[in-house]
Every structure is written in structure tokens, then in C-alpha cells.
Amino acid sequence: AQTVTQSQPEMSVQEAETVTLSCTYDTSENNYYLFWYKQPPSRQMILVIRQEAYKQQNATENRFSVNFQKAAKSFSLKISDSQLGDTAMYFCAFMKFASGTYKYIFGTGTRLKVLA
């Protein structure tokens, strides 16, 4: 069975600094997708970034980038130039599609606080 592990329950970073959130997963699949979602205090989960496992190039979205290490089954999120609005829970998620069915597995989340 697939699992997703986020080993950092809480983190903090100074405004304008860089922070990296870790995520590891376990799967025997070769084709899958990985996501980072942000959940601010307003509660709604919002996609931050997505990575297709078949792509070697790391995904980037403005200040957000990932370090995808397929062999190590690692998918960390780097936030550059942290802003106060980045304060939120961040969830790593794994998704596979097989036999016409989607399977999403979420990690337990990392609470990030950006300090002024």
C-alpha cells in the first residue's frame, strides 16, 4: 500500500528566507503524480505545485519549487522569499490511476509559520 510521510509537524521561517518542507512516499508504482497543497486558516485546500513521476525535471511555480528524487521516493517543497501569506498547513499527496480508479494519499501535513 502507498504511504506518504511528512516528518516535520511544524516549521517556522523568517520572512524573505527560504524554507524546505520534506515529504517521502512509498510505492511500487512507476507512473504516478505528486502534489503539494496549501491549507491556510481559511481552511480551503489549494494546489501549490504538481509533479508527474515520469518527468525528471523538477516542477517550479514562481517562489515554489520541488526537489523530486524518484529513486529515493522523496518530494520536498522549497519556498523561496517566504511571505506572511505563506503561513498555512502544507500537505503532500500521492496519486495513482489504475483500473479506471484514482487513489489519492495525503500526508499528515506540516504547519508552516512565517515570522515577521
Partner 1 sequence: DAGVIQSPRHEVTEMGQEVTLRCKPISGHNSLFWYRQTMMRGLELLIYFNNNVPIDDSGMPEDRFSAKMPNASFSTLKIQPSEPRDSAVYFCASKDRAVGGELFFGEGSRLTVL
What is the binding site for partner 1 (CB under 8 A)?
33, 35, 37, 42-47, 50, 52, 91, 95, 97, 100-104, 106-109
Shortest CB 50 distance to partner 1, Å: 6
For the chain, percent helix, then strand, then coil, each to nearest 5? 5, 55, 40
Q: Cell triple for residue 72? A: 529515493
Shortest CB 39 distance to partner 1, Å: 9
Nearer to partner 1, 33 or 64 (CB): 33
Shortest CB 116 distance to partner 1, Å: 26
Nearer to partner 1, 1 or 116 (CB): 1
Tell me the C-alpha distance between 21 and 10, whole Å: 10
**Cα separation values, 103 from 1, 44, 62, 108, Å:** 11, 21, 28, 16
DSSP character at residue 42: T
Nearer to partner 1, 14 or 62 (CB): 62
